[in-house]
Amino acid sequence: MTTNPQAVIDAASVDAAITSRMSARAFLPKPVPRETIEHILQVASRAPSGTNTQPWRVYVLQGASRDELVAKVCAAHDAVRADPALKAQYQEEYDYYPQQWVSPYIDRRRENGWGLYGLLGIGKADKDRMHEQHQRNFRFFDAPVGLMFTIDRVMGRGSLVDYGMFLQNIMVAARGHGLHTCPQAAWNDYVSIIRPHIGASDQEMLVCGMSLGYADPDALVNTFHTPRVPVESFTTWL
């Protein structure tokens, strides 16, 4: 792949790919061709990384490998609900969220949760439906493609910054092919199941999972779009 220093002519399409990205939570069973996935990953690999370390490693699950992982993790998720003491067996390898929440982040988190569950008509007391909806994560929201991302433990925290740019590239590039995604930290609790299933070594830390496919346009859950704060709220001009 060659690079072109000139500006992209169709800037509107770039903007549209970014702004139309959303976390889809319902997908059609329509398969995604392998060559399309490979192309997206190749484009995404142009993400910058410190001293060009390119710290990402990707595992693509489709068909039987996808279905087997879904069955294993859903069974563990159900078991933890039945016996909360089992949760000690399933711990994420790094703190994705803060140990203690403060404003404005906790406020945005609550707004997100209330908005999603309110749209679906799931109340705080409806533990069965909350469990079922959360488990949709572990079914890849029915997407035909599941992605798992790992990083070598030897790498520093800066490499996670690099990784974020790689993940964003995947999600934006997918839009160019009419696909949607959902990045998922929910998988991280079940790394002890995921790592042996995908054949990753103990030296690899799970960064996150991701669903990839064609979003179901008729699913109510896909009408949920999270707000963004205005530029002036997070920008200081000097």
What is the overall mean pLDDT for the chain?
96
Domain that holds residue 84: 17-94+137-219
Q: How confident is the model at residue 4 (pLDDT cuts 50, 70, 90)?
A: low
Count: domains in the chain: 1
Assigned domain for 28 exists: yes
Instruction: Answer whether residue 115 is part of any domain.
Output: no
pLDDT recorded at residue 7: 73
Q: Quote the strand ranges of 94-179, DSSP E.
A: 145-152
* Paired tokens of 192: 């002890």
- What percentage of the chain exceeds 70 in pLDDT? 97
Residue 142 lies in a domain: yes
pTM of the entire predicted model: 0.94
Query: Which residues touch 98 (CB under 8 Å, ≥6 apart)?
Result: 105
- Contact of 180 with 215, CB cutoff 8 Å: yes
- CATH of residue 83's domain is 3.40.109.10
Side chain identity at residue 87, one-letter code: K
Per-residue pLDDT, 9: 82
User: Could you give the CA distance from residue 225 to residue 13 in angstroms, rounded to a whole number?
Assistant: 20
Structural domain includes residue 197 = yes
Phi, psi of 160 (to 5 degrees): -70, -30
Residue 227 in any domain: the answer is no
**pLDDT tens for residues 145-202?**
999 999 999 999 999 999 999 999 999 999 999 999 999 999 999 999 999 999 999 9
Segment 205-226 shows an average pLDDT of 97
Residue 90 belongs to a domain: yes
